[in-house]
Amino acid sequence: SKFDFAGAFLLTLFVVPSLVAVTRAPAIGWENRQTIALFAASIMAFVILILWEKRAKNPLIPINIISSINPMIANVGIMMAGFGIQMMSQANTYIFQMPSPYGFGKSILDTGLLMMPNAIAMLIVAPVTGKLMVKIGAKFFAILGSAVAFAGLLLLAKYATTVNIWVFIGMTIVLTTGIIIMNVSLINILIFSVKREVMGIATGANSLFRNFGATWGPAVAGTIMSTYSTIIHLPTPPYSLQIPTSRAYEVLFSSSALVFLILIVLSLFIVEVVKGIQK
């Protein structure tokens, strides 16, 4: 089938202006004409995109497939999983490297090594969740994952810059565990909620949502950290450095926690399709 070039172009017109607006707003102001114009252009492109995709023969975003309850919740959840992982990575990099009391003052190499426990948690949690899901059900794990991620974000919002480094890593592992549990469960819910002949389209659209969330994560994190920042003076070049304050992390993680709270509510409406599937 032919590629939906028009849909890809409209999607670009929707995503790019909104990202530019979020990135530039802290510098030029949220009420600046450029910011408002960029958001307005993004909204217009989104409306046109939806109208086009409904009529296109081979839509980039298959509205009729993703609009039913299970695929819709799965796609929103996967988008937030991508958002949460990338946002956490951005914030953690700053917290690990910024000088005390705004961070732990670690090098780039140390930062990478200290993020390894999160990767190990992913490797352990994902297969265990997948194995138990058939017996317990994907809906349960979708709710559980969202709740664990919500709790992890609340912990980070409250204590990110006030605890020792190992407690901080433990809190990030809690968040990572929740996101992975939710991610695995929602992917399975999506796969078993659509017909086999459209499974490729559904999973392709799901990847699009994941990438969209992953794109927004660093942009939103950077915007919040730029908004709530302070300048510190150093004895060596560059002598002054603008760094995020504790308030930045509080706002960042709290707002993300609110999103996962909404996902908990949405997950309650999931129709179970995985439990006992082997039978």
Calpha distance 193→254 (Å, rounded): 32
What angle, rounded to 10 degrees, do the helices at 246-267 and 138-159 form?
Answer: 160
pLDDT of residue 1: 63
Q: Does residue 124 carry a pLDDT above 90?
A: yes
Query: pLDDT tens digits for 181-220?
Result: 998 999 999 888 888 877 887 888 888 888 888 878 887 8
Fold of the domain built from segment(s) 62-267? Growth Hormone; Chain: A; (1.20.1250)
Please say if the pLDDT value at position 45 is more than 70. yes
pLDDT confidence tier of residue 275, bands split at 50, 70 and 90: confident
Q: What are phi and psi of 98, to 5 degrees?
A: -70, 145
Does pLDDT of 238 surpass 70?
no
pLDDT, tens only, 62-107:
787 778 889 888 988 888 888 888 888 888 888 998 887 778 989 9
Closest CA to 61 of 22, 71, 18: 71
Q: What share of the chain is helix, strand, coil (3-state, %, to 5)?
A: 75, 5, 20
Residue type, 106: K
User: Can you give the three-state secondary structure of 214-268, one letter per residue?
Assistant: HHHHHHHHHHHHHHCEEEEECCCCCCEEEEECHHHHHHHHHHHHHHHHHHHHHHC
**Amino acid letter, 218:** P
- Record the pTM: 0.82
